[in-house]
Chains A and B, each alone.
Chain A
Amino acid sequence: MCGIIGMLNKDGKRIDGSLIAEGLSLMDERGNGQGAGYAAYGIYPDFKEYYALHVFLDNLKEAKVDVEQEIERWGYIVYSEEIPTSEKGTIEGEKIPYRYFFKPDPRKLLGREYNEQDAIVEMVMRINAKRSGALVFSSGKNMGIFKASAWPEDVARFYKIKKYKGYMWLGHNRYPTNTPGWWGGAHPFGLLDWSVVHNGEITSYGTNKRYVESFGYNCTMLTDTEVVTYLFDHLIRKHQLPLGLTGNALAPKFWNEIDALDPNVRDVQTALRLTYSAAAMNGPFAIVVANTNGFIALTDRIKLRPLVVGSKDKTVYVSSEEAAIRAMEPSLDRIYNPLAGEPVVHQLEGHAQ
């Protein structure tokens, strides 16, 4: 099952994490206590020019030394600390959440054919593939993911998320079905400033995994949602597709629907479907994918998972259930169920596509 939720203040106003936790916790029935998490944007204004690396460490000895050696091969750590948590030992399979504010060093990237963001991606992939007791689960600027193998309200309390203020929040309540419930398997998944929450299954995982691996991404989190993160990063950051078209590429229309479109639109949709056949996601899903500028929410093309969108003034809400949105904002201007496969895109003011 799983429950997903998100909210964006389009005017950039920052609010603390207690509201999203309240909405998500209303859908506890959609999870089983084996994974929950939050992504927050705008939470590190004092460090906004640095990449905030959130890392699960197995211990503060060799695992920490190991990951820091790797990070320092790519640049320098400006500041680091344990992520403040409460009630140590209350969550099963506990890892030590640690954060590094990091700046890639252009001198250390000399001779390489890629830019700074490519370097971050390669560094994260290397650390996670080595599995040496450290797992980078968040690596964007001025944003961060907080997750664990527990109920939504416990994760919110554990990370003290009401102490963070963000203009956009995503949340997820997990009910693992086909893959294990563990800290690394909790949502949101992240890479650079991307974060992804997902309800459903990506039955095309094998095909999608091979597709992203051919571009250097490594799938290491033992669950399907991870691949969605890399698909978005690849199609948008590398291929520079707009968000809406990316949605169409990943949840393509049926051929008979494409045939019925106006010729111009039809040609674009045909090209997308042919070009990205190995990136298209099959199976039941509802996802919310965010980056610094906003989010896209999307379901599979026959709506096998629910998605509700609401709005009030300059705030947009999205969730698996209407009640969770109303728990965050009782008097909405609008609330509706988007059509299957229809990308719902909302961005910060000044960032409209």
Chain B
Amino acid sequence: MEHKDAKQIDAKGKDYRTLNKEIRESVNDGINYITVKNVLGHRFIADGIKNRTLRISIFGVAGGDLGAFMDGPTIYVRGNAEHAPGNTMSSGTIIVDGDAGDCVGHSMRGGKIFVKGSVGYRVGIHMKQFQERFPTIVIGGSAYSFLGEYMAGGIIVVLGQNCTKPVGSYVGTGIHGGTIYVAGVVDDNDLGVAASKKEFTDEDRDIVSALIDEYNHHFESSISIDELTFTKIQPSSKRPFSNLYTTEG
């Protein structure tokens, strides 16, 4: 049934500028539910849109920088996403019912990203938190190397479903804030400079459990925290490179 605040857009044959203009104009016209079909690598979808009630469903492969700088909307991708979905997003939710490329949540400063499958390199690079802004990324499958590189805040959860190794090497290289939770074993050799394993407490369990519930809700899955053993990774110190360019400290 077609609601008057719903709209369907066909991306086939359209350049990404045309598509994004159409989405933006629809939002300005008061449309709240947008379905975009035949998306094939269209970049920058919903970038910078500030709107807490907007819902966008994407069918196809979402191009790079999906939802960059966005503030509020919920995007559901029925397919895969290319590089850097949620780049510097402020708030809102991105749900990818497939895999995603490198740099998911690059410099993310708020909101949530859920990826059902696996993700590429440098996921969560430069994520940060400030006051009420607190970014979260949940990955169902595995993440390649440099997960949480230079991470400064927020949470990354890797559930490691259907894979042999949940994370690659150099996990949390240069991390100085935030927490990475990995279901499974993380070899000490795979920790990056500045990252350390910490005790997984009851408080951590509550946080991760709530995020798993949310993941299950989005993807109609039934993962239980009781079946998983988490490794918690945090910064070794707040200033891991204080001696890199100077001799003080």
Give A residues with C-beta under 8 Å from B: 26-27, 29, 256, 260, 302-303, 306, 321-324, 326-327, 337, 339-340
Most B Cβ at <10 Å: residue of A306, A321, A322, A326: A322
Chain A residues with CB under 8 A of B64: 321
Interface residues of B in 108-128 (CB under 8 A from A): 120-122
Q: Once the chains are docked, how many angstroms separate the CA of A260 from the CA of B16? A: 45
Chain B 25-64 per-residue mask, 1 if CB under 8 angstroms from chain A, else 0: 0000000000000001101000000000000000001011
In the complex, the answer to whether A323 meets B144 with C-beta atoms within 8 Å is: no
- In contact, B43 and A29 (Cβ under 8 angstroms): yes
Given contacts A303-B144, A337-B120, contact A260 B101 (CB under 8 A): no
**Which 8 residue pairs across A and B have the least CB separation, nearest first?**
A323-B41, A303-B121, A323-B61, A323-B40, A337-B120, A322-B61, A26-B41, A321-B41
From the candidates A29, A256, A324, A337, name the one contacting B101 in the complex (CB within 8 A).
Answer: A337
The answer to whether B80 and A322 have CB atoms under 8 Å apart is yes
Tell me whether A29 and B16 are in contact (CB under 8 A).
yes
Question: Closest CB of chain A to B185's CB: distance in Å?
Answer: 16
| Alpha-carbon separation in the docked complex, A344 to B189 (Å) | 25
A156 to B249, CA, bound (A): 59
| A-B CB contact pairs (8 Å), 25 listed | A26-B40, A29-B16, A29-B43, A256-B189, A302-B121, A302-B146, A303-B102, A303-B121, A303-B144, A306-B83, A306-B102, A321-B41, A321-B64, A321-B82, A322-B80, A323-B40, A323-B41, A323-B61, A323-B63, A324-B41, A326-B41, A326-B61, A327-B40, A339-B144, A340-B144
B41 touches A327 (CB 8 A): yes
Nearest-neighbour CB distance to chain B for A311, whole angstroms, equals 16
What residues of chain A lie closer than 8 Å to B168, measured between beta carbons?
A: 339
B234 within 8 A of A: no
Residues of B within 8 A of A26 (CB): 40-41
A27-B83 Cα distance, complex, nearest whole Å? 13
Given A27-B41, A29-B16, residue A323 in contact with residue B121 (CB < 8 A): no
CA distance A340 to B41 in the complex (A): 22
B41 neighbours in A (Cβ, 8 Å) = 26-27, 321-324, 326-327
Q: Does B88 contact A (CB under 8 A)?
A: no
Chain B minimum-CB-distance residue to A254:
B169
Contact with A along B134-160 (1 / 0, CB 8 A): 000000000011100000000000000
Add 14 more A-B contacts to A322-B101, A324-B41, A326-B41 (CB < 8 A).
Answer: A26-B40, A26-B41, A27-B41, A29-B16, A302-B146, A303-B122, A306-B120, A321-B82, A322-B41, A323-B41, A326-B40, A327-B40, A337-B101, A339-B168
Find chain A residues with CB under 8 A from B146 CB: 302
- Chain A residues positioned under 8 Å from B16 (CB to CB): 29
Residues of chain B contacted by A324 (CB below 8 angstroms) = 41
Q: Enumerate chain B residues within 8 angstroms of A337, measured Cβ to Cβ.
A: 101-102, 120, 144
CB of A190, distance to nearest CB on chain B (Å): 28
A312 to B82, CA, bound (A): 20
Once bound together, how far apart are the Cα atoms of A106 and B145, in whole Å? 53
Interface string of B166-210 (1 = CB under 8 A from A): 001010000000000000000001000000000000000000000
Q: A321–B43 Cα gap in the complex (Å)? A: 11
Mask of B85-116 contacts with A, CB within 8 angstroms, 1/0: 00000000000000001100000000000000
Nearest-neighbour CB distance to chain A for B59, whole angstroms, equals 13
| Cα separation A337 to B143 with both chains bound (whole Å) | 11
**Please, which residue of chain A has its CB at the minimum distance from the CB of B17?**
A29
The minimal Cβ–Cβ distance linking A236 to chain B, given in whole angstroms, is 28
CB contacts (< 8 Å) of A326 on chain B: these are 40-41, 61
Chain A nearest Cβ from B142, distance in angstroms: 11
Chain B contacts of A322 at CB under 8 A?
41, 61, 80, 82, 101
Q: A26-B40, A322-B82, A326-B40 are in contact. Are A340 and B61 (CB under 8 A)?
A: no
Which residues of chain A come closer than 8 Å to B40, judged between CB atoms? 26, 323, 326-327
A29–B40 CA distance with the chains assembled, in angstroms: 13
Bound-state Cα–Cα, A256 to B121, Å: 19
Whole-angstrom CA separation of A260 from B190 in the bound complex: 12
Task: Determine which of B63, B82, B145, B189 lies in contact with A302 in the assembled complex, contact meaning CB atoms within 8 Å.
Answer: B145
Partner of A340, one of B43, B63, B80, B145: B145
In Å, the complex CA distance between A337 and B101 comes to 8
A340 to B145, CA, bound (A): 9
Nearest Cβ distance between residue A323 and chain B, in whole angstroms?
3
CA distance A176 to B32 in the complex (A): 41
CB B153 to nearest CB in A, in angstroms, measures 24
Q: Given A29-B43, A303-B102, A306-B102 in contact, is the A323-B82 Cβ separation under 8 Å? A: yes
CA distance A256 to B189 in the complex (A): 9
CA distance A260 to B43 in the complex (A): 40
Residues of chain B lying within 8 A (CB to CB) of residue A303 = 102, 120-122, 144-145
- From residue A333, how far is it (CB to closest CB) to chain B in Å? 15
